Amino acid sequence: MPTRLAYKAVAQNFAFNFYLPEIPLKYDPNLRQATYTPITKANLAQYKAWLISVFFIFAFVTMGSATYLIVRQIVKPNPRVTMVQLFMGCMLNAAGGLVMAMVFYALKNGPEATQWVNLLIRLHTEMFPEIGVGVKSRYPIWKTSTGEYDTFGISVTILLYPLIFFPAVATSFGIAANMDVYHHFWYDVLPANVSNHVWTQVVIKFFSTLFAYSGFAESCRMLAIMGMLLIATVQLIARIVEGLASRDIEGLGTAESIYQTFVYLRIVEATIGDLEATLTLILIESGIWICAASIFANLRLFSILPLGVFVMFPFFTIVTLGIAQQLLPALTNIHENSETALTKWMEQLRKNENVGGDQRYLRRKFLPLRPIRFKAGFNGFTFFVLDKSTKTYFLGSVLDNAINLLMAIPELG
């Protein structure tokens, strides 16, 4: 998020979520720095409301109700449950699993992730002070300091601003259309004369609304946080590598500066790569299925669901493809630019006479360096390296799974 518009979008997203329970991650819009406070016994009471909201209301109650709906329909089908409600329950559990993976990642790796983001922001500002967000610009906020359109900031704004209003819209229309997953359990457990009583239905609908809104709000907040931690990290590294690759070795001083910065980025890659390999794999694979299911819903449910509920599926499709567009090409550029830069620097060291007798020494320092590239894996095992083919694999898998769903389920009603 090294642009004015991106910083503003992140700051306003945090500001609009002031009414939600306090979380360990905070963002200072003035310093443009994120801070993370590990949860301990001493501050457990401070974050108890958030933990209850995430683990009890969302994971246990909401995802548990969706799981009950699916299993109940398999074991003993209920004629009142439609295929649309069953599909919505499956989508809720798929998206909920992704959200819980983000929660566990934030709890486990939050301090390291925020620290690396802050260090990369500081390094980017030091390397390119002329284009820093603190420099006054004569261009509007949607343009960079060079006058070009800020495509990254515009993309971040398009992704983050709808997350502020999405919970209210989705909850209102979903409850009105009776698309929640909570009432099925209570109608099965309670006696018929109790469940059919008007006040029982009012109470169930009231708590269903609260739980649904809480789940949507926490999911949107975690999506924004992971976007800040993951997309910002990748984009910052990509811009730093691109700027570093454009520099030439003109003497001993520039050679040492380039070498130290590149080694620093390799350390970042080694540290972040181990932390985020599992999360990257989860995001890619779950993103494929969520995007494919959303495309399926766009084509099958547009005439069935109310507009306020249906709009979540085009939104999911745009968000998934938008995140992929921000991450995958940037990861490819990191690998290609670092590889090209190393080749160029080695060639310059062979021909450059300005480094004098240190030429041979510098070549030996640069020779062991390898291009920067990230991986996706699990528990120390690498499944695949993120390179130019990853985007093709992602989009091809989305299209393939969407076609399979359309062929397997010809209609929903």
Q: What is the number of other CB atoms lying within 10 angstroms of the CB of residue 104?
A: 12
Whole-model pTM above 0.85? no
Which tens digit of pLDDT belongs to each residue from 6-38? 888 888 888 888 888 888 888 887 777 888 888
Q: What pairing do the DSSP bridges indicate for beta strands 381-385 and 25-28?
A: unpaired
pLDDT (average), residues 193-206? 84
Least confident piece of the model among 11-25, 90-104, 263-277: 263-277
SS (H, E, C) 87-132: HHHHHHHHHHHHHHHHHHHHHHHHHHHHHHHHHHHHHHHHHCHHHC
The rounded distance, in Å, linking the Cα atoms of 345 and 351 is 10
Q: Please give the share of the chain, as a percent, with pLDDT higher than 90.
A: 3
- pLDDT of residue 240 exceeding 80: yes
Cα separation, 186 vs 190, in Å, equals: 6
Please say if the pLDDT value at position 354 is more than 70.
no
Three-state DSSP class for 300?
A: helix
- pLDDT for 129 equals 64
**pLDDT tens by residue, 100-159:** 888 888 888 788 888 888 888 887 777 776 555 555 667 677 777 767 777 777 878 888
Hey, what are 203's tokens?
Answer: 């109470």
DSSP string, 156-218: HHHHHHHHHHHHHHHHHHHHHTT--SSHHHHHHHS-HHHHTSHHHHHHHHHHHHHHHHHHHHH
311-339 pLDDT, tens digit each: 888 888 888 888 787 778 888 888 888 88
Q: Which residue has the tokens 């209301």?
A: 57
pLDDT of residue 400: 92
**363-to-250, 252, 337, 356 alpha-carbon distances in Å:** 14, 12, 19, 12
Distance CA 260, CA 32 (A): 25
3-state helix, strand, coil in the chain (%, to 5): 75, 5, 20
